[in-house]
């Protein structure tokens, strides 16, 4: 009877698909949340973001002023430029340009128009320098580069090696900075449900911090079935030894 009780406890402590599986259909049994789909919103430049840009022109005089003198008459700046608290950025030869609240494409068009006031054939390529997200907790903590637009939560966590089995997939949190001194936004969600796709929790943005807490009962949980069988075997062996010892003493 004791053995069967022990087996029941051990079987209930294994990680199952219901606990760690992704893209599950919400049912009455698993009671997963159902999230609404929302349109994708591109990232908009915030205060303290850092920008790098490349200015291209066929104007030889301007090219020399910019420090290049080659066949393409292009100049690439390796330094990054920070967005000030008033939402503007200072670039060489330009007055402060307001970029806060713009998408990368809108910022590129804005800077191109500003440069063309002094360099008629100017072309500008712009990118964010601080295009990273961070992960802390039970998912191989670190800082990772956002290599494309519309990086989703599954791709982001795959870059870390996925959430550990002990990670609480029911309560993933994203800490997202906000402008104007506001407190960061904290988004909490269950990433096991398939309705996370195209929800407001689906995409990862620059400066996001993804926090994966450890499940409260992870200390008592068996990580895989080979460990489960090994634990059963050793437990039964220990119990048998104890019973034989007790029987020998009272014989």
Q: Where are the alpha helices (DSSP H) in the chain?
A: 2-12, 17-20, 60-65, 104-116, 153-158, 225-249
- Give start-end residues of each CATH 3.30.1950.10 domain in the chain: 50-128
CA torsion through residues 63, 67, 72, 77, sign:
negative
- The CATH class that applies to domain 50-128 reads alpha beta
**Pairing mode, if any, of strands 209-212 and 172-176?**
antiparallel
- Give start-end residues of each CATH 3.10.560.10 domain in the chain: 18-41+132-217
pLDDT tens-place string over residues 38-92: 999 999 999 999 999 888 888 777 766 765 444 444 455 457 899 999 999 999 8
pTM of this prediction?
A: 0.76
Burial (CB count <10 Å: 0-12, 13-18, 19+), residue 147: exposed
Q: Which range among 71-80, 93-102, 114-123, 198-207 shows the weakest confidence by mean pLDDT?
A: 71-80
The strand pairing partners of 175, in sequence order, are 186, 209
Q: Give percent helix, percent strand, percent coil of the chain, each to the nearest 5.
A: 30, 20, 50
The SS3 of residue 5 is: helix
In whole angstroms, what is the distance from residue 104 CA to residue 51 CA?
A: 10
pLDDT tens-place string over residues 165-175: 889 999 999 99
Residue 234 neighbours by CB under 8 Å, 6+ apart: none
Identify which has the larger pLDDT, 93 or 75: 93
Burial (CB count <10 Å: 0-12, 13-18, 19+), residue 78: exposed
Q: Give the per-residue pLDDT at 63.
A: 67
pLDDT for 12 beyond 80? no
Q: Which range among 24-33, 89-98, 116-125, 140-149 shows the weakest confidence by mean pLDDT?
A: 24-33
The average pLDDT across 111-131 equals 93
Which DSSP symbol is given to 129? Answer: S
Architecture of domain 18-41+132-217: Roll (3.10)
Q: Give the per-residue pLDDT at 216.
A: 78
């Amino acid at each position: 009877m004791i053995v069967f009780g022990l087996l029941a406890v051990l079987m209930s402590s294994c990680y199952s698909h219901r606990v760690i599986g992704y893209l599950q259909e919400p049912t009455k049994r698993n009671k997963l949340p159902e999230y609404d789909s929302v349109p994708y919103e591109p990232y908009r430049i915030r205060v303290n973001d850092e920008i790098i840009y490349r200015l291209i022109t066929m104007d030889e005089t301007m090219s020399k002023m910019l420090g290049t003198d080659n066949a393409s008459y292009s100049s690439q700046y390796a330094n990054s430029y920070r967005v000030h608290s008033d939402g503007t950025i200072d670039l060489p030869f330009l007055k402060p340009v307001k970029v806060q609240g713009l998408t990368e494409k809108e910022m590129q068009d804005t800077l191109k128009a500003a440069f063309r006031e002094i360099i008629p054939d100017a072309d500008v390529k712009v990118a964010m320098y601080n295009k990273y997200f961070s992960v802390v907790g039970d998912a191989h903590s670190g800082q990772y580069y956002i290599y494309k637009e519309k990086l989703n939560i599954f791709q982001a966590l795959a870059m870390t090696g996925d959430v550990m089995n002990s990670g609480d997939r029911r309560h993933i949190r994203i800490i997202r900075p906000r402008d104007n001194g506001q407190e960061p936004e904290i988004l909490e969600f269950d990433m096991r449900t398939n309705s996370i796709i195209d929800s407001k929790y689906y995409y990862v943005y620059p400066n996001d911090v993804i926090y994966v807490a450890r499940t409260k009962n992870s200390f008592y949980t068996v990580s895989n079935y080979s460990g489960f069988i090994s634990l059963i075997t050793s437990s039964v062996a220990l119990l048998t030894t104890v019973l034989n010892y007790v029987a020998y003493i009272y014989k």
